[in-house]
């Protein structure tokens, strides 16, 4: 009996050792793989766009800064924030976009803004982390110009934020499971820019505004399982979902107050209605028109 236990113990020891070895090799691989990808230089060509310094442009930019989700990460005063900080995931930091201490360098030019927003890379052409450039690359040149104009006109805020760090879990996910983890990897860098889009209550404008919804509601807007443990499932927001039964007034109220016609209060930390609350009436009408035009045939809905 003793002999068997001793033998078993030995094998268990080997097993633990093998697992440790495997984990080390996997982590080592993930680390090198992500380092390699983070150091890749993307040759980007960003044709200049005209950025007006006029007050109309700044006002429009202020609104679009909210609509296109910049405020959610970079904050209402543009001074940035630590989005996430824990030893397993790492530290994700949305930059201070102002000219204050800890903000963007004084010579951060229009080209640098465009490289960030259209290609998801920094001034050296290397991929940014988390900054959702695969979404901002779909913003029209006119809207980008106004957003940049607003950001450049913002008051300087002195706020020094710590550097970003990819934690072991993020490295493992990116390195072993997701070859398109960095936004720059999800972008077609040769795509023709959209010059201008007409802001009317149309399906096309709704689709344009709904780009950011796909981050949670999936590319077909049919939702899916919870995004993380402790989160609610993500609902289907096409005509097939509850949204399909709501009147226009009910839809508007939901996206402005978070209270659904069924009496459910949507959690503002899980569903960003404090942002959709700021959408204009035309913008909300457009989004609803687009959502009600779905679901499309399967072959069209998946991209």
Which residues in this chain contact ligand HEC in the complex, by CB under 6 A?
68-70, 72-74, 83, 92-95, 97, 113, 116-117, 122-123, 128-132, 136, 147, 151, 164, 210, 212-213, 215-217, 232, 234-235, 237, 241-243, 254, 260, 266-267, 270-272, 276, 287
Q: Which two tokens stand for residue 48?
A: 């200049």
Identify which of residues 9 and 224 has a Cβ nearer to ligand HEC in the complex: 224
**How far apart are alpha carbons 71 and 198 in whole angstroms?**
23
Least distance CB 180 / ligand HEC (angstroms)? 16
**DSSP letter string over 193-214?**
PP-----SSSHHHHHHHGGGGH
**How far apart are alpha carbons 264 and 254 in whole angstroms?**
9
Least distance CB 283 / ligand HEC (angstroms)? 9
Rg (CA), the chain: 23
Least distance CB 203 / ligand HEC (angstroms)? 14
Identify which of residues 26 and 83 has a Cβ nearer to ligand HEC in the complex: 83
DSSP H stretches of helix in the chain: 2-38, 55-67, 70-74, 110-114, 133-136, 141-153, 168-172, 183-186, 203-209, 214-217, 248-257, 273-276, 281-292, 298-301
Identify which of residues 11 and 267 has a Cβ nearer to ligand HEC in the complex: 267
CA angle in degrees (0–180, nearest 5) for 170-174-176: 115
Least distance CB 255 / ligand HEC (angstroms)? 6
Least distance CB 29 / ligand HEC (angstroms)? 22
The residue whose two tokens read 């006109």 is 153
Identify which of residues 69 and 204 has a Cβ nearer to ligand HEC in the complex: 69
Least distance CB 155 / ligand HEC (angstroms)? 16
Identify which of residues 68 and 134 has a Cβ nearer to ligand HEC in the complex: 68
Identify which of residues 174 and 210 has a Cβ nearer to ligand HEC in the complex: 210
Identify which of residues 149 and 172 has a Cβ nearer to ligand HEC in the complex: 149
**How far apart are alpha carbons 153 and 177 in whole angstroms?**
41
Least distance CB 232 / ligand HEC (angstroms)? 4
Nearest to 222 by CA among 146, 298, 127: 298
């Amino acid at each position: 009996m003793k002999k068997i236990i001793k033998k078993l113990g030995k094998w268990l020891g080997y097993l633990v050792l093998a697992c440790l070895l495997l984990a080390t090799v996997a982590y080592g691989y993930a680390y090198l793989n992500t380092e390699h990808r983070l150091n890749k230089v993307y040759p980007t060509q960003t044709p200049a766009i005209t950025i007006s310094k006029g007050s109309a442009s700044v006002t429009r930019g202020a609104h679009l800064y909210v609509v296109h989700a910049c405020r959610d990460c970079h904050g209402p005063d543009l001074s940035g924030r630590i989005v996430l900080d824990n030893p397993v995931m790492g530290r994700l930091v949305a930059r201070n976009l102002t000219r204050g201490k800890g903000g963007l360098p004084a010579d951060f030019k229009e080209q640098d803004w465009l490289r960030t927003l259209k290609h998801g890379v920094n001034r050296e052409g290397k991929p940014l982390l988390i900054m959702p450039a695969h979404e901002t690359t779909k913003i029209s040149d006119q809207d980008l110009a106004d957003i940049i104009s607003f950001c450049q006109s913002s008051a300087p805020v002195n706020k020094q934020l710590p550097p970003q760090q990819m934690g072991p879990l993020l490295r493992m996910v990116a390195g072993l499971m997701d070859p398109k983890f960095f936004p720059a990897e999800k972008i077609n860098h040769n795509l023709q820019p959209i010059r201008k889009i007409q802001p009317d209550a149309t399906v096309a404008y709704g689709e344009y505004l709904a780009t950011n919804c796909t981050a949670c509601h999936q590319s077909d807007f049919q939702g899916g399982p919870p995004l993380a443990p402790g989160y609610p499932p993500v609902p289907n927001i096409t005509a097939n979902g509850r949204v399909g039964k709501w009147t226009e007034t009910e839809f508007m109220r939901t996206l402005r107050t978070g209270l659904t016609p069924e009496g459910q209060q949507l959690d503002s930390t899980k569903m960003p209605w404090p942002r959709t609350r700021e959408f204009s009436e035309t913008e909300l009408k457009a989004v609803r028109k687009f959502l009600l035009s779905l679901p499309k045939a399967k072959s069209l809905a998946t991209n």
